[in-house]
Amino acid sequence: MKEIQRFTLADLTLPMKTLFSGYLLVIGLGLLFAGGQIMLTHGLADGKVGLSVDDIIYSYHGKRDEGSKLIAKLNGSMKDNAPPDVRLAMIKWAEAGGPAEEWDEKISMDVDQYCAPCHANIPGLANLTDRAVMDEMLKVDEGQSPSTLTRVSHIHLFGIAFIFFFVGWIFTYATGISQLNKAILISVPFLFLIVDVLSWWLTKWNPNFAWLVIIGGFGYGMSATVMIFTSLYQMWILPRRKARPIDPPIQ
């Protein structure tokens, strides 16, 4: 028996269209800001603007061949935040294991002058003036820790799954698209979300999986964008096109 769709996005009342559209617009804006946040965090991991495979590797697998986290930062995203002689002195100090006497005599003062303005005042940044925190920075950079990945993974899965559920639910009322194609479009962001999160862990283990992180994020972003724009188009533009009077034939 052929399935009959009882109503479409174009048939919705004005309040329902307003509710759905407000949600879709806010979600779309949120996706844009999420992309910007990725560019300002992971996108600068290699010290260059723009997201690359190296950014993903450095973020999740770390820079294990470059020594400590401090050295990796001083050679990467923090390279231009201190004069060359100060940066070189910090690198040599880190390579020597961070001797306490050098910390007390000079390094701590350099940290206070060049690092503390941001790292001691901006929430979320490691307070490098604390010697215990600095000791952690002297360890080899192995990327995100398992505890951090676990926390971010479950938040990511729970939160974004809710977003895709409601975007997909609104999209189910679209017309002109077969049920099979709808099902594929609705399932794609969930599948790519799983790929995205699992690829974090795979990249932590092996850097060759870094491509999957980019593919997963791009995949669910694009599929959500298609559903958002299709839904908005059919709610507001399609009804107007249907209601437009037919031009009289030319005599």
Q: How confident is the model at residue 27 (pLDDT cuts 50, 70, 90)?
A: very high
Residue-wise DSSP of 156-188: HHHHHHHHHHHHHHHHTT-SSS-HHHHHHHHHH
State the pLDDT at residue 39. Answer: 81
What CA–CA distance (Å, rounded) separates 124 from 150? 18
pTM (2 d.p.): 0.70
**Structural contact between residues 74 and 92, judged by C-beta atoms closer than 8 angstroms:** no
Could you read off the pLDDT of 61-114 as tens digits, one per residue? Answer: 887 766 777 887 888 778 888 888 999 999 899 888 889 889 988 999 999 999
What CA–CA distance (Å, rounded) separates 234 from 151? 38
What CA–CA distance (Å, rounded) separates 103 from 96? 11
Nearest to 24 by CA among 215, 233, 175, 240: 233
Q: Is residue 233 pLDDT above 90, yes or no?
A: yes
Phi–psi pair at 4, nearest 5 degrees: -110, 125
90 burial via Cβ count (<10 Å: 0-12, 13-18, 19+): buried
Q: How confident is the model at residue 240 (pLDDT cuts 50, 70, 90)?
A: low
Q: How confident is the model at residue 241 (pLDDT cuts 50, 70, 90)?
A: low
State the pLDDT at residue 153. Answer: 95
- Output 12 or 44, whichever has higher pLDDT: 12
Nearest to 69 by CA among 49, 93, 94: 94
Nearest to 74 by CA among 65, 64, 84: 84
State the pLDDT at residue 16. Answer: 94
3-state DSSP call for residue 134?
helix
**Structural contact between residues 186 and 168, judged by C-beta atoms closer than 8 angstroms:** yes
Structure tokens of 96? 């020597």
- The DSSP 8-state label assigned to residue 212 in this structure reads H
Q: How confident is the prediction for the chain on average, in pLDDT? A: 86
Q: How confident is the model at residue 246 (pLDDT cuts 50, 70, 90)?
A: very low
What CA–CA distance (Å, rounded) separates 183 from 172? 9
Could you read off the pLDDT of 162-220 as tens digits, one per residue? Answer: 999 999 999 999 999 999 999 999 999 999 999 999 999 999 999 999 999 999 989 99
- Output 144 or 46, whichever has higher pLDDT: 144
Residue spans of the domains in the chain: they are 9-43+143-239, 65-137
- Output 251 or 165, whichever has higher pLDDT: 165
Most confident of 8-12, 165-169, 243-247: 165-169
Nearest to 57 by CA among 224, 210, 176: 210
Amino acid sitting at position 168: G
Tell me the CA distances in angstroms from 144 to 37, 119, 202, 239, one per residue in order. 17, 19, 12, 49
- Output 56 or 45, whichever has higher pLDDT: 56
Q: Is residue 248 pLDDT above 90, yes or no?
A: no
